[in-house]
Amino acid sequence: MARRLVDQSKEIFNKNLIRVSSKNMRIATFNLESLDLEPKAKVPIDLRIEMLRPQLLRLNCDILCLQEVNGQKLTGCVNRQLVALDMLLENTPYSTYYRISTGDKSGEGVSDIHNLVILSQFPIVEHKEIFHEFLKPQKVKLSWPANKAQIIKWDRPILHAKIKLENDQYLHVFNVHFRAPLATPIVGQKLSPFVWKSVSGWAEGYYLAELKRSGQALELRLALEGLLLQNNQQQIIVCGDFNAEDHDAALKIVIASEEDTGNGALANHVFTLLDRSISVDRRYSILHHARPQMVDHILVNRSMLSYFKDIEVHNETLADELLAFSKIDRPPDSFHAPVVAEFTSFN
């Protein structure tokens, strides 16, 4: 028995040596801020490429999750394509990566705005969109107009990819973009795009926005639970723009900490927010009126956490998104910082 334990210990030790010495894997998330072409885009695509392409190259990642990638129509084509993205990725390693994206209602093209995209140097063997798969659209009775019901749907789907790695293991990647904490428009309660007619109208709009954001988080959590109940040793990573900080309800739903569930037996279902390992003074992916906020995140389950090595947020050139709109003529950069995490090999 003792000899067998020694042999097993040597085997584990050797595996760890192989893992540490093997090539690491880098996974990143980046909100491109409505990547599009003129005339719809206010900033020429060439200028945006000058700003964004160096950021993508610096990430040097194997898997890249992108948000806010708009679709364009080509002459003679019925469906929209990711033309602006193709131009951005041209002459970069990402142009040869496997690629999936969210689509339009026809299933033949992409949406006009805010598509989610996953790029991977490893084969994507399965993928799907998750949009009200676990939660049906909710009917909510509003005060404005009086007693009129409104159907509440998510603004965007969740994109799920199953990726086959070089060692015949599989990685599940979820790309998300949750609703921003900005009040949803209410009929008859807006004087202009940014001016409300009444406090009660604004309050109801803000409530609906929170309902959407928390609802998306719950649908994501239910999708994750489906995978974990099949096999809680699977490698799972969730990336994206959550429009939420770690104390907000949306992230608490996704994380499902033991302190919240009160059940230690559910510890293997907890997702870890990797940016908590970044020093507080560097932990922000947007600046809003001089307030640093971390709203772009990478989370992993316990099995994936064992391979985690490091995380970076590239926020050195980040401008204040609120002040920039008033001070900068057509800012070409994204007001979100890319986030990249590094993992040791899965050997």
Amino acid letter, 115: N
CB 86 within 8 A of CB 51: no
More confidently predicted of 14 and 326: 326
Q: What is the mean pLDDT of the chain?
A: 90
- Give the pLDDT confidence score for residue 326 in this predicted structure: 65
Q: What value does the mean pLDDT take over residues 156-183?
A: 95
- Phi (first) and psi of residue 337, to 5 degrees: -90, 140
SS3 326: helix
What domains can you pick out in the chain, each with its CATH number? 24-343 (3.60.10.10)
Which tokens in the block code for residue 270?
């907890």
- Phi (first) and psi of residue 310, to 5 degrees: -160, 160
In the block, which residue shows the tokens 């998330």?
A: 29
pLDDT in tens, 193-229: 889 999 999 999 999 999 999 999 999 999 999 999 9
- Give the pLDDT confidence score for residue 18 in this predicted structure: 32
- Give the pLDDT confidence score for residue 68 in this predicted structure: 98
pLDDT in tens, 235-286: 999 999 999 999 999 999 999 999 999 999 999 999 999 999 999 999 999 9
pLDDT in tens, 88-101: 999 999 999 999 99
- Give the pLDDT confidence score for residue 105 in this predicted structure: 72
For residue 330, name the pLDDT band (cuts at 50, 70, 90): confident
- Give the pLDDT confidence score for residue 22 in this predicted structure: 46
The whole-angstrom separation of Cα 46 and Cα 48 is: 5
The whole-angstrom separation of Cα 220 and Cα 239 is: 11
CB 208 within 8 A of CB 151: no
